[in-house]
Amino acid sequence: MRVTLLAVARGSERDACPEPAAAPDSRCTTGGCSTLAGEPRAVRQHGMKFPKRMLAILAVNCLLLGIGLVAVELVFGWWFDTSSLNRLNLLKDCVRQLDVSHLYNDPNPIIRYSRDKYGLRGTHDRPGSIDILTVGGSTTDQRYIRDGETWQDVLQNRFARTGVTVVVGNAGVDGQSTYGHIKNFEWWFPYIPDLKPGYILFYVGLNDFYMDAGYSHDQIVSEEQNLKQKLKDNSAVWHMIRTLRGAYKAMVVNKIGHVALDFSNVHWTRDSIQKDYSMMDQRLSDYATRLRALADMTHSFGAKPIFVSQPSRKYRITPEGPMGDRSVSFYDGHQYNGVDYYHMMRKLDGVTKAVAKEKDGLFVDLAIHAGWVDSDFYDFAHMTPKGAEKTGELLWGALKNVVTGAEQDAVLDGDSAALHPRQ
């Protein structure tokens, strides 16, 4: 023990710091001394080795990460895939048993949800038999409505009851907006054998309400394929990030996920917050551009476009005017409530109607129908089987004469659910 103490003492004497007068900026530590004029060689060498070692470790980790990302892209990306079917979050060739008891009352809450090997829902025996192909987001997909009870099933069965065979296919994809619908024509529909519907019905509006102004994906209408666009199209990592970001934005920020809502707890108002909705102008312009692209792609596909507005239970239509959910949300920094939402959606639906007329399409205005009730919905956007049945019935009333050739140019009056010639 004495030898150890002596060694420490001698070490302290050998490393003793000079007087401040010789080095006014000197500093001492218990393990040794250094000054700005110079450090002991061992300390300097150790200090030089430490950052070099850290840089080497960092470089090796970055290299391994890069190799891992390349491997992920090669295995899960679509750089060499010409069909691109997996890029759209498609469920294909699947049958699922889903419990809907947390969303609405049903005597048999375990439902069957299925899609064929091409990613379509419906009763068609082959894609070539589809007469009306429906395109939209979650309100078209209807993940929590059982096979046989979607509004597409109701529409098809309604035609069948009159002795007319009209097969309705469901190409709805949960979370899709019109941007995704455009991608359908590039990445999905061309790879479905013999798919040649006479009509393509777009059930649109709600998801595009939340689309950012100047959204970069609006550039899809351009044929330019730069490196950034190729990365978006083919990267598995980009696809995963986009999917997670979209899910977070939909469910957390915009609160449009599948969550049961007790409408008796909603506080209603007749007063809007905003009086001017010019903050929508850029979004409406971008939305119109996407709709025009969809109409052109539909005609090129050999079909006629049908655009249908989407109802919402965030507002109620009454003889005295709209009532809306009193809770406040934000749109580009502007507050809005359910009454504002009604007026804003009517602007969006007005663009849909105008583009339908411009592009020789049909327009069905379900959103303005006054007959919707709380039990038609399980949240502000998604419908119960009762609401799906009503949607199918209204669409049949709107389209029965058009599809059978009795009437070629018409628009639905939402209150009467009857067709009238477009003015």
pLDDT by residue, tens only, the chain of 423 residues: 444 433 433 444 444 444 444 444 444 444 444 444 455 665 556 556 667 788 888 888 898 888 988 887 776 665 666 555 655 668 889 999 999 999 999 999 999 999 999 999 999 999 999 999 999 999 999 999 999 999 999 999 999 999 999 999 999 998 889 999 999 999 899 999 999 999 999 999 999 997 765 444 444 344 445 666 666 666 767 666 766 665 555 555 555 568 899 999 999 999 999 999 999 999 999 999 999 999 999 999 999 999 999 999 999 999 999 999 999 999 999 999 999 999 999 999 999 999 999 999 999 999 999 999 999 999 999 999 999 999 999 999 999 999 887 655 544 544 433 333 333
The per-residue pLDDT for range 20-34, each reduced to its tens digit, is: 444 444 444 444 444
Residues 6+ apart with CB under 8 A from 133: 168, 169, 171, 189, 195, 197, 199, 200, 201, 303
pTM of the entire structure? Answer: 0.74
- Structure confidence by residue, pLDDT tens digits, 81-107: 655 565 566 888 999 999 999 999 999
Instruction: Report the C-alpha gap between 147 and 124 in whole angstroms.
Output: 12
Residue with tokens 């994906």: 217
322 neighbors 342 (Cβ within 8 angstroms): yes
Residues 311 and 391: their CA atoms lie apart, in Å, by: 10
The distance between the two most distant Cα atoms of the chain, rounded to a whole number of Å, is: 112
CB proximity list for 221: less than 8 A, separation 6 or greater: 182, 289, 290, 292, 293
Residues 6 or more apart from 19 whose CB is under 8 A from it?
A: none
Asked if residues 43 and 34 have their Cβ atoms less than 8 Å apart, the reply is yes
| C-alpha to C-alpha distances, 10 to 3, 25, 32, 85, 230, nearest whole angstrom | 11, 25, 12, 76, 69
Cα(258)–Cα(56) distance, integer angstroms: 48
Quote the pLDDT of residue 90. 81
Q: Radius of gyration (Cα) for the chain, nearest Å?
A: 31
Residue 113, token pair as written in the block: 């949800």
